[in-house]
Structure 1
Amino acid sequence: MKLRTDNVIRLDISYPLLNEDYFSLQISRVSIDDSKSYQCVLVSALNDIQAESRPSILHVQYPPDDQLYPQCTIDSNPSDAKLVTLKCRSETAYPPVRLYWISSKGRLVPNTQFNQFTEAYLDIAIPSSSDYVCISNYTSGSEQINRRCKLNAPKILLSIENKEIIEGGEAVYMCSVDAKPKSDDLSWTSVPALVARNKTIAYDGNSVSMLILSNITASDNGMEIICSSKNLLGTNFEKNVLIVKTFGSSTGIYVPPFVVTLKPVIAKVVVGDMVTFTCEGSTYRSSYKYKWFYCDTEITPQTTSDKFLINRISTKRLSVRKVDIMDNNATISCVVSVDGQERVARAKLFVIQTETASAPSDAMSKSNYQTKTLTNGKSFFQSLECCVFWSSLRCCIG
């Protein structure tokens, strides 16, 4: 007795007849590779076929990798600069995955291709202000897996960190961008133009940029600050008007502004290292009182720990120790008060990872899924995202 799979007779395998009635084949630890057509073939001693059964097809059910797929990408159109192609990709699965695109205009009908991957293509005109969402639906019996990915032109949130802009002080602007695909073009402009010697720009390389304007003068009042960004789907911008508070007295005598500086304004620190921030007033006064904040949590000499250190004698310095990736994008604030006045200076902490894990390639992910062992013909996955807090002093910025 021989076994035929997908029309190929396995001459290297022979099975004895258990009795005159039937022959049974049992497959243990069923995997994707077992999805085939099976036949029982009766052969003679000379390997001549004497009789054969009707084919029996085995379908092994398996879902796509829902932690990696679907994936949304966008390609420019070489023949028409006003068109782009949206592409949604998912691993093959059984039963097959269904892909479709939706936008603010409703459900859209893509061109779908089936090969090693299931792919749905959609041509759209640019620029476009719509969000485009690709939904991947896998249904197996009563089980359903729905995943999605999104493409959109930049959406910008521009905020000013200072509650009050003081003449002689600084203005700190934060610009965050939600763009898919990610925008590599995030820029600052102003009307009138920014003075180069008075500005500092920091960019985390992902979606947040910070603009610091120092030595603010009365002539800066009314300046429009503009943050803009673009990707293949379009361009967007937001603006804010700078309002400057000036100082003086009823006698006409100029009163020097009380200004606070915090250094470094932008700290880029490798994971595991320590960084120290120093806060100082514009002129030395022993009566200065300092308060420190990590994000929105106050740090005091009494809360000094393995993570934060403030010198009990000179409270104008704060050290953040054992920096880790959860500190990325953290805001460090120093509040200085004297003679009934209070000023705030802020700094930003960016964390540098020495090693980054690369996403698995298509070939690798395909190889991994080919060797999955399926129990009862099914396998499902669920991904969870969590934010781990360090004591009560850790903030997460998403």
Structure 2
Amino acid sequence: MKIIKLLIACSLASAISISCNQKKKEKMTESVSKTPSAKYAQNINPADFTTTIEGDSVKFFVLTNANGMEVTFTNYGQRLVSLYAPDKNGKFDDVVLGFDNLKDYRAKKNFFGAVIGRYGNRIAKGKFSLDGKTYDLAINNNENHLHGGLVGFESVVWKVDDHTDNSISFSRVSPDMEEGYPGNLEVTVSYVLTDDNALRISYEAKTDKPTYVNLTNHSFFNLKGEGEGTVNDHVVLLNADKFTPVDNGLIPTGEIMNVEDTPFDFRAPKTIEKDINADFEQLKIGKGYDHNFVLNEEPKNNEGLTFAARVVEPNSGRTLEVYTSEPGVQFYGGNFLDGSDIGKSGNPYVRRGSFCLETQHFPDSPNQPDFPSTRLNPGETYTSYCTYKFGVTEN
């Protein structure tokens, strides 16, 4: 099988360290990392993430591993603020988009690095029926519901249950009828940064009423470094024979379409820009790639997670592999970025200046009986797993 051969061929070289080409800020930093040479300190002052919102404390948190990788979070929106990964020469860059202060995260409607809930992606008309009752959700994307509504999981303060050098766990209770969803939903999300340069994410949720749940992480990646131009030259492989076409509101039509002989065929590696200007209706609707891909069930890693995607940035040699327990992944090419957001490095986030790989159940599943169900009942436990594994190409 082509993908299995590709995975075998992709042995990762040793990760070593690289200074990013970013503007430095003369700000005092706090000692929140175990190491005095914290990489985030060149752009971020933790004091700019420390405050109280409606009685809840907001702080800045750091994870590190034995290879020098560093991941930072705020518990506001459970945002992944920065992620420093090595290139083929062993030097580090921050490869996720975001801001250098809490104020910008709160002032701008964005999803940079956030946990998404209760429902990742769109629900048509902001409505669904459950056991004969119709529920009206918050409308926040034209006539549809997107990523949990007006005040989704990205815009609330999470409790930090545990924080070690390489792990962190967040929780909250989403109250009954928050943004229109039934049931008190108890949610826990945990992150572990491993010594093989993987960030493992585990989601768990329980409810006291039947409801729908679809959680994901919405990190925006640029493997050159955040704010370093477009991702058009990134080489992408998606382990998907099919995708779900959408209507003009980016709601799935219900069809599951083969990618063969379309610009959506990423079964063999190709650059994002290769087919992006093709005369194909789905590309016009999404202004590029912004679609759910139906993952093949094999191959799996040694944890039983399905291989979803592999992305290579040819100049730095950085790679990102994605594994998941979910049936789909949303591949988004940053089509709606417009340069108005200024990132941590002081650079604007230009159109197609990042990509997202959001592991998920399919969009609008509550209204699509032929899609895998996202229903959660009392007494059941929702679980979902995603691994973002970073590496480098061989020289």
Instruction: Report the TM-score when normalising by structure 1.
Output: 0.23
Which structure ranks higher in relative contact order (CA pairs < 8 Å, sequence separation ≥ 6)? 2
Q: More helix per residue: 1 or 2? A: 2
